[in-house]
Chains A and B, each alone.
Chain A
Amino acid sequence: MSERVAVRKTYKLYIGGKFPRSESGRSYIVQDANVALSSRKDARDAVVAARAAVKGWAGATAYNRGQVLYRVAEMLEGRREQFVALGVPGEEVDAAIDRWVWYAGWSDKLAQVYGGANPVAGPYFNISAPEPTGVVAVVAPERPALLGLVSVIAPAIVSGNTVVVAASPAEPLAAITLAEVLATSDLPGGVVNLLTGKISETVPTLAAHMDVNAIDLTGVADAGLAAELEIKAAENLKRVLRPAPADHDWFADPGVTRMTTLLETKTVWHPKGV
């Protein structure tokens, strides 16, 4: 009996709920696999997909978004071994699963914790509530490839933002596999869009893109590049999350700044009268 010939996976991009190859037709070899090498045009397509998804995702009920995020945790739990096989330490997979659960619970609490009634000095009903900012470009940290990625995607999307994520160029396989998890988790297409390849190729396009509302530079290790990207982001006054320190502990309590930076506060006034 000859040994069974394995079916290998083609690692593709994740844009608008589909898994296309790079429109450039390029790939690069990393982690013993051919991985799509995204182009500027892929970045642009991803922004279009992300923008198209904003209305439905931001308009979904917070309860629904929480359910979807929790479903991601469920699906990830089921595929735990798949990530371990890719070289992701078991405890990191566990932490990533728990992080989805943590953020899932935030969806219907954000407005209560970060919004509220304002006691203005006059006969007005006045209320402030957080809203998603829109399309967020995210540079995932290089490592840990899975926990780091989950830790930047979940806080962005839990409130209704959609994201275009540049995955870790050195360890993209966990990211692409996570995209497969997302695709089977009731997450609407376009809410998370994943680009693999070089940061220097796609992220400047995202930073300069006028239809992107915010940029998370967490994974940009080069301080010079980070400053350059921040300068590009200023063109349409994107909200900016600056790079994380190199020694950032991804296993620690993530806090709320990632969520709140990507929120807008809307305040509504109305007179009270008969």
Chain B
Amino acid sequence: MTATATSARSDLSELGRSETALRTFLHGLPGVDQVGAEQRAAQLGTRSIKTTAKAQAIDLAIRMVDLTTLEGADTPGKVRALAAKALRPDPADPSCPHVGAVCVYPAMVPYVAEVLKGSKVHLASVATAFPSGQAPLDVKLADTRAAVEAGADEIDMVINRSAFLAGRYKEVYDEIVATKEACGDAHLKVILETGELATYDNVRRASWLAMLAGGDFIKTSTGKVPVAATPPVTLVMLEAVRDFRAATGRQVGVKPAGGIRTTKDAIKYLVMVNETVGPDWLDPDWFRFGASSLLNDLLMQRTKLTTGVYAGPDYFTLD
């Protein structure tokens, strides 16, 4: 690190103290040209990943899956089954890796914790009045603490989009700081809900805001609004974590969530990670997919590669 970078590091820690400083900083970030960003993402999507590279990518993608269910209809039975699948995605093939985490509502955390106990699969819980975040702060923090106490070691919080879009950046910042504190040792993933932020400039600003406030991961979406993760949004977030590490020395993870359903899509994201931030992020500790149906497609493709025969959905568990 050069002297400049060191001084920049100390400067950044002061930003959260004032609305003006935050605003000046966030609005001083380079703009994002929509057409250019979308073209770059599309271009990365044309990489052709075959044979050995594909096999490697599929196993990595499985390890990066945050196997998710976030429904009002979730029951202890449903989430236990999901957790079991997380541990052994392909019961027929012991060489198949386990997923990165299981992601559920706070009320479901205890049931998942029972199943995952002693495994390396993480337990993520959404919190902070997910998905809208429209609740008083103390309620959101209580939500977070309850999830951690119930056994979650990762918390997926939502930012206050209302405050963000109204330009009250410090309020957003303070909420993230408070949530991070409420997390204790649990990792904090900050959901930007990019589908509501409307522009890539906002995605970049929200990414920086979340990182400055202490988020361990930045995550695209709740999956509960029409537009979830997209390649260009993820590209902009990857650029943000790359630049943030260059400026501060701290590495932050990225989690696209929602809408990623096929192996082909997942591989495009891995190519994007590889060519935007490099191998340091090609690890479940630093990149996750928030998904549910993706896992079965990965498993089907995996089987195709090992057996040479196209698989069918009947041969994979539906949990």
Residue numbers of A with Cβ under 8 A of B are 122-124, 271-274
A271 lies within 8 A of B33 (CB): yes
B198 lies within 8 A of A273 (CB): no
Question: Which residue of B is nearest A273, CB measured?
Answer: B34
Question: Which residue of A is nearest B35, CB measured?
Answer: A271
Question: Which residue of B is nearest A271, CB measured?
Answer: B35
Question: Which residue of B is nearest A270, CB measured?
Answer: B35
- Give the complex CA separation of A274 and B201 in angstroms: 9
Chain A residues with CB under 8 A of B35: 122-124, 271-273
- Asked if B226 is at the interface (CB within 8 A of a chain A CB), the reply is no
B33 lies within 8 A of A274 (CB): no
- Asked if B43 is at the interface (CB within 8 A of a chain A CB), the reply is no
Knowing that A124-B35, A271-B35, A272-B35 are A-B contacts, what are 12 other residue pairs whose CB atoms are under 8 Å apart, sorted by A's residue number?
A122-B35, A123-B35, A271-B33, A271-B34, A271-B36, A273-B33, A273-B34, A273-B35, A273-B38, A274-B34, A274-B198, A274-B199
Chain A residues with CB under 8 A of B199: 274
Chain B residues with CB under 8 A of A124: 35
Chain A residues with CB under 8 A of B36: 271
Chain A residues with CB under 8 A of B198: 274
- Give the complex CA separation of A122 and B42 in angstroms: 14
Chain B residues with CB under 8 A of A273: 33-35, 38
Chain A residues with CB under 8 A of B33: 271, 273
Chain B residues with CB under 8 A of A274: 34, 198-199
- Give the complex CA separation of A273 and B33 in angstroms: 7
- Give the complex CA separation of A38 and B198 in angstroms: 68
Question: Which residue of B is nearest A123, CB measured?
Answer: B35
- Give the complex CA separation of A272 and B199 in angstroms: 13
State how many angstroms separate the Cβ of A76 from the closest Cβ of chain B. Answer: 52
B125-180 contacts to A (CB < 8 Å): none
State how many angstroms separate the Cβ of A269 from the closest Cβ of chain B. Answer: 10
Chain A residues with CB under 8 A of B34: 271, 273-274
- Give the complex CA separation of A181 and B8 in angstroms: 66
- Give the complex CA separation of A122 and B198 in angstroms: 21
Interface centre among B33, B35, B36, B38 (most CB of A within 10 A): B35
Question: Which residue of B is nearest A274, CB measured?
Answer: B199
State how many angstroms separate the Cβ of B108 from the closest Cβ of chain A. Answer: 38
C-beta contact mask, B27-39 vs A, less than 8 Å → 1, else 0? 0000001111010
State how many angstroms separate the Cβ of A123 from the closest Cβ of chain B. Answer: 5
- Give the complex CA separation of A274 and B199 in angstroms: 6
Which 4 pairs from chain A and chain B are nearest by CB?
A: A273-B34, A271-B35, A273-B35, A123-B35
- Give the complex CA separation of A272 and B33 in angstroms: 9
B185-203 contacts to A (CB < 8 Å): 198-199
- Give the complex CA separation of A124 and B38 in angstroms: 13
Interface centre among B34, B36, B198, B199 (most CB of A within 10 A): B34
15 pairs from A and B in contact (CB 8 Å cutoff): A122-B35, A123-B35, A124-B35, A271-B33, A271-B34, A271-B35, A271-B36, A272-B35, A273-B33, A273-B34, A273-B35, A273-B38, A274-B34, A274-B198, A274-B199
- Give the complex CA separation of A124 and B34 in angstroms: 11
State how many angstroms separate the Cβ of B143 from the closest Cβ of chain A. Answer: 33
Chain A residues with CB under 8 A of B38: 273
State how many angstroms separate the Cβ of B199 from the closest Cβ of chain A. Answer: 5
- Give the complex CA separation of A124 and B33 in angstroms: 12
State how many angstroms separate the Cβ of B35 from the closest Cβ of chain A. Answer: 3
State how many angstroms separate the Cβ of B190 from the closest Cβ of chain A. Answer: 23
State how many angstroms separate the Cβ of B123 from the closest Cβ of chain A. Answer: 38
Chain B residues with CB under 8 A of A272: 35
State how many angstroms separate the Cβ of A125 from the closest Cβ of chain B. Answer: 10
